[in-house]
Chains A and B, each alone.
Chain A
Amino acid sequence: MTTVSLTVNGQSVTADVDPRTLLVQFLRENLRLTGTHVGCDTSQCGACVVHLNGQAVKACTILAVQADASVVTTIEGIAEGGELHPMQSAFREHHGLQCGYCTPGMIMSAIDIVNRKGSDLDEQTIRAELEGNLCRCTGYHNIVKAVAAGARAMARAPLQQAAE
């Protein structure tokens, strides 16, 4: 067992974990943050994307111990005071989800795209940047629309973005 201490969604947590525990397992099983999903075992699907120190990572691809002393944000941590994050609202408004299983990872990736590429995103950029996220339900059409709209909304809501 190894001790890890990190900040998850603004709360500091410390736990003893089996050193082989993946960050995604730690989030789901130790912290019961089950919004972060597991869809594969080869780091391909992106259902597990969270933010680690402000950047998108696949939580199935790093060990919990590697996240020691880091700041982690999951899908449960992006809504502010009961208000959805603009990207969450955009997915709902544009029907960017069906079964919802890929959705947390999609939204966390989408926010990261905006953080990296800005809020004025064209269709090809969005499609290329979603390379690491699989959705089997939507055919991506509405996800692309949602990401574009969410990006514009994030630009209009700088406060929320800063809180992220």
Chain B
Amino acid sequence: MTATGIGAPVRRKEDQRFVTGQGRYVDDFNRPGQAFAYFLRSPHAHAAIRSIDTGPATIMPGVVAVLTGDNLAADGIGGLICGWMIHSKDGSPMKAGPHPALAQGKVRYVGDHVAVVIAETLAQAKDAAEAIVVDYEVLPAIVDTAEAAKASVQVHDVAPDNTVFNWHLGNREETEAAFARARHVTRIDLVNNRLVPNPIEPRAALGEYDPGTDTYTLYTTSQNPHVARLVLSAFIGVAPEHKLRVIAPDVGGGFGSKIFIYAEETVCVWAAKKVRRPVKWTSDRSEAFLADAHGRDHVTHAEMATDENGRIIGLRVHTTANLGAYLSTFASSVPTYLYAPLLSGQYDIPAIYCEVDAVYTNTAPVDAYRGAGRPEATFVVERLVEKTARELGQDPAEFRRRNYITQFPHQTPVIMTYDTGDYAASLDKALDLADYRNFQQRKQESARRGKLRGIGFSSYIEACGIAPSQAVGSLGAGVGLWESAEVRVNPTGSVEVLTGSHSHGQGHETTFAQLVSDRLGIPIDQVSIVHGDTDKVQFGMGTYGSRSGAVGMSAIAKALDKVIAKGKKVAAHVLEASEGDIEFKDGKFGVAGTDKALGFGEVALQAYIAHKFSGQDLEPGLKEGAFYDPTNFTFPAGVHICEVEIDPDTGVTRIDRWTAVDDFGVIINPMIVEGQVHGGIAQGVGQALLEGAVYDQGGQLVTASFNDYCMPRAIDLPSFQVGMTVTPCPSNPLGIKGCGEAGAIAAPPAVINAITDALGHEDIAMPATPQAVWRAAQKARMPMAAE
């Protein structure tokens, strides 16, 4: 390992600009002549729009235009799309209701887009929005996940019973048979609480139209600018693909919420042409709460069957998933193919059957949020496993160990073929780091101080490196999920890598450069990583599903192989040797068995000056592109152990210790990987202890600011003890599995398992706020008193 190569904790190249305030986020861009957009949003959860009178607003000071859904329709702009087709059990396609960027006839959630005002200043746009007169016929609303299918309210005409689909996976008969012969059945009812992603940078969009070239530019807070361009052009029809440039510059966190193609960027591009001015919109936090896609929101009943040897023989799950008022870009895939295929966890479970009913409600659309489906699956599996162990009177660690998959590859009953792993190794290491042996002593010590101490495990697995295109195509995906890269070697020997991955905190400018430095033997400061601009990068699918390492870097590795192969040809001509005799090692092209060699930079120069070979024999230049399509998902897995101490008098849960042992395969930069783990755990702890998006019965979001929605702060979290085990991923050239979502997936059940262990009963829901924990602690003390 070199100081900047694979495996080195290289300090990040991008940090210089971030720590000095020189980062460039979308809202930092201003274009000449720019006007500002402000969206008038629905104050009602559900209403028919009888009329919109924009007249009074258009004569307000500074107003450039006031546009509504009628204008969109008149210009033939299509609706927003959901790119993953799910079929119900009966074979019928999912019921996708219309999703216009500006409301047409109806609003379906508080925050739905009614009209846009474009004005000289944002303040003028806001003032004018107040003058728009909308005549609403307010309709009753449905917000409750479990009740939606029974409600008399209908959100979309196309979806009777508010049902998007009734989907299933697994083998029903085998699962029923397993339950019939079970010695013990453990049952659990779970709510996976609705979350608001809340990257600290709010979304923003700046659209621009150049009439001279008839081209459009969109600056947007996107995790996947090429996907945005494809959807905006091919499906929504705002601009032709070859005339639309999408730029996603520095982006301040995404966590899934910036994957999707929303109304606002659609409107900014369209309106820029209409008003012949650049149009800028920046979300404020209140809008982000209302209209960013939310995450999770499942209601689940699940059962686990065990035999007389304490082996899990069956799992059945019924989940109702709330998809909100409209199907967001990838909404349908989250509670289906990103969820049920993970229900086997790390366990050898011969029979699994899962049913998912997805429903519409009058709430913000729900889509992928860090982990996307996999945290929900892990919560089901790990809560059930823990509860089963308790009911069987077994140590939760040993119960897990007994049921771990130990032979690979392993075919689960729910699609996935796990390629490799060593789950017991992670468990052993975690038990050791957590000092599990002495837990009882610590528990007694806490008890002496009147505190309740509990320990909770989470043996999670995830499917990352999303994803083999053919496989996801057969499951309903509308796109392929390869990644692309281009390696441009300059005549001076410096290298630019153009990648379709997008960094919004992941540190690609550093880790990707480490790969290049490692492979080409050149200093890391000779490498720059270019991303986030569709005019520069040939193509890309973006960053989500922990795919940038496993898929994005594999594409770079493939392109680097081609560069080296071409370099050998060039070197062969220059060194007057046969190509087969050229070796590339330590940044030098040499003739095997001799000391004749050329540095990488010399070969680059020779490739461009082309003096030593005929352009007919060999093309000049040193620039190669590659598309990499994975052959399988990757399967990061690990064990997190959470130890809490509860004050039964206040209900405050303090996390005393957190141990994480993860197997991410080969690691490029351990410093960055650990940072990803920390951040993921924090979000998972947020879900377990603090966060919850709450709508009242009328559909008002009552947690619509940082005052009301409890984000994890420094004081809420401990320092984390992070360890690694490594089984290299066999399905990609770098052996990488991915690390971005692990913490968020692992953490919630670890916390809740610890709290229920401390309380001595299972009756606590997320978020386990002090009030909820206090009530639960009282119940544990005096079963009748708290009823």
Q: Considering only CB atoms, which chain A residue lies closest to B197 in the complex?
A: A136
Within A64-104, the residues touching B (CB, 8 Å) are: 74-76, 79, 84, 88-89, 91-93, 95, 97-104
B717 within 8 A of A: yes
Q: Considering only CB atoms, which chain B residue lies closest to A99 in the complex?
A: B505
Contacting residues, chain A, for B674 (C-beta < 8 A): 95
What are 30 A-to-B residue pairs whose CB atoms are below 8 Å? Answer: A34-B24, A35-B23, A37-B200, A37-B252, A45-B200, A88-B20, A89-B19, A91-B15, A95-B11, A95-B672, A98-B505, A98-B676, A100-B14, A100-B15, A100-B18, A100-B19, A101-B201, A103-B19, A104-B21, A123-B719, A128-B714, A131-B715, A134-B713, A136-B200, A137-B505, A138-B678, A139-B683, A140-B682, A141-B675, A144-B714
B21–A130 touching, CB < 8 Å: no
**Selected contact of A134 from candidates B23, B504, B706, B707, CB within 8 Å:** B706
Contacting residues, chain A, for B285 (C-beta < 8 A): 39-42, 45
Interface of A is mostly: loop
Interface residues of chain B, those whose CB is within 8 Å of chain A, are: 11-12, 14-25, 27-28, 123, 198-202, 250-253, 255, 284-286, 504-507, 671-672, 674-676, 678-683, 705-707, 711-715, 717, 719-720, 743
Q: How far is the CB of A149 from chain B (nearest CB, A)?
A: 13
Interface residues of chain A, those whose CB is within 8 Å of chain B, are: 18, 20, 28, 33-42, 44-45, 47, 74-76, 79, 84, 88-89, 91-93, 95, 97-104, 107, 123, 126-128, 130-131, 133-144
CA distance A86 to B248 in the complex (A): 31
A139–B19 touching, CB < 8 Å: no
B252–A101 touching, CB < 8 Å: yes
Interface of B is mostly: loop
A41–B671 touching, CB < 8 Å: no
**Selected contact of B19 from candidates A34, A47, A91, A134, CB within 8 Å:** A91
Q: How far is the CB of A23 from chain B (nearest CB, A)?
A: 15
**Selected contact of B21 from candidates A45, A76, A91, A135, CB within 8 Å:** A76
A138–B675 touching, CB < 8 Å: yes
Contacting residues, chain A, for B253 (C-beta < 8 A): 98-99, 101, 136-137
10 closest Cβ pairs, A-B complex: A35-B21, A101-B252, A100-B18, A139-B682, A99-B505, A44-B706, A139-B678, A98-B505, A75-B21, A34-B28
Contacting residues, chain B, for A74 (C-beta < 8 A): 21
**Selected contact of A44 from candidates B19, B24, B201, B705, CB within 8 Å:** B705
Contacting residues, chain B, for A18 (C-beta < 8 A): 123
Q: How far is the CB of A109 from chain B (nearest CB, A)?
A: 11
A84–B201 touching, CB < 8 Å: no
Contacting residues, chain A, for B506 (C-beta < 8 A): 98
**Selected contact of A126 from candidates B672, B705, B714, CB within 8 Å:** B714
CA distance A75 to B616 in the complex (A): 55
B714–A127 touching, CB < 8 Å: yes
Contacting residues, chain B, for A98 (C-beta < 8 A): 253, 505-507, 675-676, 679
A75–B679 touching, CB < 8 Å: no
Q: Considering only CB atoms, which chain B residue lies closest to A104 in the complex?
A: B21
CA distance A8 to B285 in the complex (A): 27
Q: Please judge, given known A-B contacts A18-B123, A42-B705, A42-B707, whether A142 and B15 are in contact too, CB under 8 Å.
A: no
Contacting residues, chain A, for B680 (C-beta < 8 A): 139
Q: How far is the CB of A142 from chain B (nearest CB, A)?
A: 6
Q: Please judge, given known A-B contacts A75-B21, A84-B19, A98-B505, whether A136 and B123 are in contact too, CB under 8 Å.
A: no
Q: How far is the CB of B548 from chain A (nearest CB, A)?
A: 13
B251–A99 touching, CB < 8 Å: yes
B27, B28, B253: most-surrounded residue (chain A CB, <10 A):
B253
CA distance A52 to B393 in the complex (A): 61
A35–B504 touching, CB < 8 Å: no
CA distance A28 to B676 in the complex (A): 30
A131–B19 touching, CB < 8 Å: no
Contacting residues, chain A, for B720 (C-beta < 8 A): 139, 141
Q: Considering only CB atoms, which chain B residue lies closest to A128 in the complex?
A: B715
CA distance A140 to B21 in the complex (A): 20
CA distance A140 to B675 in the complex (A): 9
Q: How far is the CB of B575 from chain A (nearest CB, A)?
A: 42
B19–A97 touching, CB < 8 Å: yes
CA distance A74 to B12 in the complex (A): 23
**Selected contact of B255 from candidates A35, A101, A136, CB within 8 Å:** A136
Contacting residues, chain B, for A42 (C-beta < 8 A): 285, 705-707
Contacting residues, chain B, for A133 (C-beta < 8 A): 713-714
Q: How far is the CB of A100 from chain B (nearest CB, A)?
A: 3
Contacting residues, chain B, for A47 (C-beta < 8 A): 200
B679–A138 touching, CB < 8 Å: yes
**Selected contact of B678 from candidates A75, A88, A89, A142, CB within 8 Å:** A142
